[in-house]
């Protein structure tokens, strides 16, 4: 029997409906969640991502601001702009779209964001809080993965989880999140990467397999345990359709693996829609904390 398809687009929509209601309640108390997205240059992919984030914020009723800056802006002026948003009471979340031009240090820019407004969850203060299980803001893609599992009724407590990929954006944070002694976590986690001698040895043990390898169809059916839950984070462009539309695939051989797995996310329509949604969750949470309506952990 083919695997159940975990449709992130549907789960994301459910969360967004809840966010709309909570935003309306906050507005009734005089609090409007505010998000600024900062885009340096005109990279088409980055422009598309930022546009989607702004549209989602607007649809939810947030105060949304798009700050588009020239590609040759000096690093010092970008730092100054971030400082202004750190002090702006209308702004609860600051997102700097990556990548940045080569003359600007991504590390310096991300570290300049007030941790209380770091709704991407990349500031070292927030990374440290995640490590000890006291995060204000969880990184958006890992948070989306965790919600997919929870809302799909997947048992995480005690499960064998294997993460393929050790990036700071996905692999490391999701591994840390799922091993915490908390509800929606408490798993045994193994992380595989380019230095792992036999990835299949580990992936075949996984009750939950999370793949963020950055390589098209890297995980094949023979590498997956019968009945496993497979979360495919990868988005790889493999061609263009006759109609001119980009053809995408994940890091998992979807058609083969879905015949063996118990549940699987598609690409597109799986993890992707959850990422922007969790950014909005973090922004609303930042607004609540700022207004004294929610305690910090």
Catalytic residue among 54, 117, 120, 147: 120
- DSSP reduced 3-state for 160: strand
* C-alpha span between 128 and 145 (Å, rounded): 20
* C-alpha span between 293 and 42 (Å, rounded): 38
* C-alpha distances in Å from residue 238, one per residue of 9, 133, 235: 22, 38, 9
- Computed from CA positions of residues 98, 102, 108, 113, in that sequence, does the dihedral angle turn out positive or negative? negative
| Contact indicator for 231, 149 with CB cutoff of 8 Å | yes
Establish whether 53 is a catalytic residue: yes
Cα angle 247, 240, 214 (rounded to 5 degrees) comes to: 45
* C-alpha span between 148 and 231 (Å, rounded): 9
Output the known binding site. Answer: 165-167, 235
Angle of the 140-151 helix axis to the 272-290 helix axis, nearest 10:
110
Task: For residue 121, give the nearest of 142, 148, 104 by alpha carbon.
Answer: 142
Output the known binding site for NADP(+). Answer: 165-167, 235
Angle of the 124-131 helix axis to the 171-179 helix axis, nearest 10:
30
Question: CB-based contacts of 17: which residues, under 8 Å, 6+ apart?
Answer: none
Establish whether 120 is a catalytic residue: yes
Catalytic residue among 54, 97, 146, 180: 97
DSSP state of 219: B
Establish whether 285 is a catalytic residue: no
Q: How far from chain centre, in Å, is Cα 66?
A: 20
Residues noted as catalytic: 53, 97, 120
């Amino acid at each position: 029997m083919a695997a159940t398809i975990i449709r992130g687009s549907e789960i994301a929509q459910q969360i967004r409906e809840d966010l709309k209601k909570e935003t309306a309640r906050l507005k009734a108390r005089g609090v409007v969640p505010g998000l600024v997205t900062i885009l340096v240059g005109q990279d088409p992919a980055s422009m598309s991502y930022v546009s989607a984030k702004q549209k989602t914020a607007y649809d939810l009723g947030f105060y949304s601001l798009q700050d588009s800056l020239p590609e040759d802006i000096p690093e010092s002026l970008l730092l100054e702009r971030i400082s202004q948003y750190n002090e702006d009471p209308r702004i609860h979340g600051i997102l700097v779209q990556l990548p940045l031009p080569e003359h600007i240090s991504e590390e310096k820019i991300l570290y300049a964001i007030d941790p209380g407004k770091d709704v991407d969850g990349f500031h070292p203060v927030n990374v440290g809080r995640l490590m000890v299980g006291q995060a204000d803001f969880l990184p958006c893609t890992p948070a989306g993965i965790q919600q997919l599992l929870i809302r799909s009724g997947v048992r995480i407590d005690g499960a064998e989880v294997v993460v393929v990929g050790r990036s700071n954006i996905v692999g490391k944070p999701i591994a840390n999140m799922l091993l915490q002694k908390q509800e929606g976590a408490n798993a045994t986690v193994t992380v595989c990467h380019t230095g792992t001698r036999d990835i299949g040895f580990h992936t075949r043990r996984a009750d939950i397999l999370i793949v963020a390898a950055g390589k098209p169809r890297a995980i094949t059916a023979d590498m997956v345990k019968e009945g496993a839950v497979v979360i495919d984070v990868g988005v790889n462009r493999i061609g263009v359709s006759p109609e001119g539309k980009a053809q995408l695939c994940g890091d998992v051989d979807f058609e083969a693996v879905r015949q063996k797995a118990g549940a699987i996310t598609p690409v597109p329509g799986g993890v992707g829609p959850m990422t922007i949604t969790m950014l909005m969750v973090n922004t609303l949470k930042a607004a609540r904390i700022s207004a004294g309506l929610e305690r910090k952990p």
